[in-house]
Structure 1
Amino acid sequence: MSSPSVPRPPRRRAEPLQRLLFGGVYGTVLASVLVAALDHDSGRPDPGYDAVWVLLAALASAAAHGYAHAIAHRTAGETTVTAGTARSVLTEWPLVAAVVPTVAVLLGAYGGWWSEDAAIDAALFVNTVALFGWGLWAARVAGRGWVSSCRAGGVDMLLGFFIVGANVLSK
């Protein structure tokens, strides 16, 4: 007589790809909100300083998200930070990578290639297009057709348009 088999927990399908897509959208929205909030009414624009703070905010957000994810899945008996917690924090790299285009555009302004206002406009444009791409890609990965995927990309793109609109209205 054979022993009953123990059911396996459901396997997380394509978790690295899901983390990439999640981090990409989250990081792109974060970068857009941060760059839209740049305002130098009280002083001289410093796009280098702004680029550093956008990057530091992304690093802090990624670390906080990874740590929160780790503690949410911590078992009752665990009392110390484990290698799993560190791994969870490190797997949030897509969030940080998603802000790199914004940081690069701000560093271009710091290098004198364009003004900071032009950099902000360019970053918001690039990030809005990137949001379309993230939505399109996520829908294609989920097995949706091209029309449905473009619709999903368009919905994600609305986040970018919302940020651009809020930026215009607030200034």
Structure 2
Amino acid sequence: MRTESVIRCRGAVWDWLAQPAALFGGVYGLLVSSSAVAALTQFGETTRAARMDDALWVLFTALVSALAHGYAHQIAHRHARGHPGVRGVVRAVLTEWPLVVAVLPTTLVLWGAGLGWWRSTGIEYVAFAINTVLLLGWGLLAARAAGRTWGRAVRIGCIDALLGMAVALVSTLLK
């Protein structure tokens, strides 16, 4: 009996994470955090104080991106949703939570460097590596949710991770 409830719970979490809004927010948040780290560290500031500032900027960038996305969705779907005004905007912004959650690993890595938990020099490479693995995971999840085999899902996840890092680097070069 207990095993069945665990399996049902695991299936519910899988279905919840495989929703397009969660996938979009997770991937977009990882791209935002990777681009922000690259942009913030391109000038070579590696002090602990700079890393603490970087962590705050990454989180702030994600919050502003979530606000912008939620607001844009509210404007674009104003008639379809039927939630006019501030309440509708707040609801739309709150649906962007996966974007903010996705930047938390990068924020934690930078914050830890700022607190001296680990070296602050080169920590951006650790953040990129973590984000690449997470992009692979999101790609794998999306492919499995779409019914792909494990082998195909791993290949798709790897390609998604490479494309995601390419997008983050190109975005950084353009800024």
If the length of structure 2 is used for normalisation, what is the TM-score?
0.77
> What amino acid maps onto 2:91 in structure 1?
R
The equivalences for 1:17-56 within 5 A come to: 17-39=19-41, 41=43, 45=47, 46-56=50-60
Q: Please point out which of 67, 70, 77 is paired with 1:73.
A: 77
Across the aligned residues of Structure 1 and Structure 2, the Cα RMSD in angstroms comes to 3.0
Instruction: Identify unmatched segments of 5+ residues in structure 2.
Output: 1-14
Q: Report the CA distance between 1:89 and its aligned residue.
A: 0.7
Which residue is equivalent to 1:110?
114
Instruction: Identify unmatched segments of 5+ residues in structure 1.
Output: 1-12
Q: Please point out which of 130, 134, 138 is paired with 1:130.
A: 134
Q: Please point out which of 59, 62, 67 is paired with 1:63.
A: 67
Tell me: CA distance 1:165–1:30, structure 2 relative to 1, closer, same or farther (3 Å).
Answer: closer
Which residue is equivalent to 2:154?
150
Q: Distance in 2 between matches of 1:69 and 1:15?
A: 20
What do the CA deviations read for 1:50-96 (whole angstroms, capped 9, x no partner)? 100100000000110011011101129x8951523211110100000
> What amino acid maps onto 1:131 in structure 2?
L
Q: Distance in 2 between matches of 1:139 and 1:20?
A: 14
Q: Report the CA distance between 1:162 and its aligned residue.
A: 2.3
> Between Structure 1 and Structure 2, which shows a larger proportion of helix residues?
2
Tell me: CA distance 1:43–1:120, structure 2 relative to 1, closer, same or farther (3 Å).
Answer: closer
Tell me the matched-pair count. Answer: 156
What do the CA deviations read for 1:117-162 (whole angstroms, capped 9, x no partner)? 3321110000001000000001111112112211220121113442
Q: Distance in 2 between matches of 1:133 and 1:79?
A: 34
Tell me the percent identity.
49
Q: Report the CA distance between 1:105 and its aligned residue.
A: 0.2
